[in-house]
């Protein structure tokens, strides 16, 4: 790989991990963001994991604007696409990248959401059957990049957790503390396909250093090799964050959560403008995921990338440590 790595979406949860992690791995990193960050991108996440903030070049870029993106790509050897936004904006950014990237190596962060409600052991050759705007945007982004001649590695992680994760660390921890999550019984027996942020960074580093990457696109699933069920994750997170004892939730409470999800979401959106905290909604799609019997087949990524994983207990401990301080 010639030249530095441009990280698009460097200011987000995964982008910050990626910026600090790739820098720590010795790669030259350019943080691509709409606005200059107010603090080093290695903080606070990297600092809380015992790492020192890294010096990183900043380039202002509107990832959805082909001209702005082309200027940001000057002298760049590879791109990591971490753009996290509303579905339409994610597709727009990927479309601009597909037009501007040329033959640069691209590591694109997709999602297991492209598989929709599939069940069983799901490999990368399974059909993409997304459900909902987020999954459809991820699938469309993959289709745009799959048409490129240059090397494209599309990583499909499971539920990415770790320090800074709102969706899979902070929110579940708050719900556990509030007694609104717990042992869900059969409703929590679905497979919990977690991917730690550290593992996602390690896999991306390996993908960038992959010698002789073939032309065209390659999709790779990323997940804990031995996933448990959601009930086991909630117990581990509860123990790590002090949200114990964990009780079995009755069926009526889950039904009430379904009914409350929409008004709570409306409250969350309205309160967000005033920076007020409201009760977290538990959308029906999330409750369906807790029951879904899907296991990501990770063997292709293991064979292609050979990266070292963070032990699951360590990943949960680091995420809980962040939550107790900041979450």
Answer yes or no: is pLDDT of 142 > 80: yes
Q: Class of 5-166+193-229+293-310 per CATH?
A: alpha beta
- pLDDT score, position 37: 67
- pLDDT score, position 160: 98
- pLDDT score, position 215: 73
In angstroms, the CA 288 to CA 189 distance is 11
First and final C-alpha spacing in the chain? 37
Q: What is the mean pLDDT of residues 274-288?
A: 86
Compute the mean pLDDT over every residue in the chain, rounded to the nearest whole number.
91
Answer yes or no: is pLDDT of 43 > 70: no
Tell me the per-residue pLDDT of 202-261, one tens digit each, with 9 for 90 and over: 999 999 999 876 677 999 999 999 999 999 999 999 999 999 999 999 989 999 998 898
Q: How confident is the model at residue 52 (pLDDT cuts 50, 70, 90)?
A: very low
Answer yes or no: is pLDDT of 53 > 80: no
Query: Would you kindly state where each structural domain of the chain is located, as residue ranges?
Result: 5-166+193-229+293-310
Q: What is the mean pLDDT of residues 143-153?
A: 92
Tell me the per-residue pLDDT of 165-209, one tens digit each, with 9 for 90 and over: 999 999 999 999 999 999 999 999 999 999 999 999 999 999 999
The pTM of the full predicted model, rounded to 2 decimals, is 0.92
Q: How confident is the model at residue 44 (pLDDT cuts 50, 70, 90)?
A: very low
């Amino acid at each position: 790989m010639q030249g530095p790595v441009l990280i698009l979406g460097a200011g987000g949860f995964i982008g910050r991990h990626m910026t600090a992690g790739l820098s720590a791995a010795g790669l030259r990193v350019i943080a691509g963001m709409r606005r200059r960050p107010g603090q080093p991108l290695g903080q606070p996440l990297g600092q809380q994991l015992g790492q020192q903030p890294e010096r990183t070049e900043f380039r202002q870029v509107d990832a959805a604007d082909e001209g702005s993106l082309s200027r940001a790509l000057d002298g760049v050897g590879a791109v990591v696409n971490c753009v996290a936004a509303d579905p339409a904006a994610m597709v727009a950014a990927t479309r601009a990248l597909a037009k501007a990237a040329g033959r640069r190596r691209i590591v694109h962060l997709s999602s297991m959401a492209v598989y929709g409600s599939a069940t069983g052991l799901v490999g990368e050759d399974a059909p993409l059957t997304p459900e909902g705007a987020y999954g459809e945007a991820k699938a469309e982004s993959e289709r745009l990049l799959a048409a490129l001649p240059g090397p494209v590695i599309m990583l499909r992680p499971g539920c990415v957790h770790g320090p800074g994760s709102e969706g899979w660390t902070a929110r579940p921890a708050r719900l556990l503390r509030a007694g609104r999550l717990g042992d869900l019984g059969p409703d929590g027996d679905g497979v919990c396909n977690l991917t730690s942020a550290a593992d996602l960074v390690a896999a991306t580093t390996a993908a960038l250093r992959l010698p002789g990457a073939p032309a065209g696109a390659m999709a790779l699933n990323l997940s804990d090799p031995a996933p448990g069920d959601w009930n086991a994750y909630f117990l581990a997170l509860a123990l790590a964050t002090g949200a114990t004892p964990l009780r079995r939730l009755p069926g009526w409470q889950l039904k009430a959560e379904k009914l409350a999800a929409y008004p709570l979401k409306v409250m969350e959106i309205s309160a967000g403008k005033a920076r007020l905290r409201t009760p977290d909604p538990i959308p029906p799609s999330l409750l369906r995921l807790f029951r879904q019997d899907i296991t990501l087949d990770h063997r292709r990524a293991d064979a292609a990338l050979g990266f070292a994983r963070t032990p699951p207990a360590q990943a949960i401990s680091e995420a809980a440590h962040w939550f107790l301080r900041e979450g």
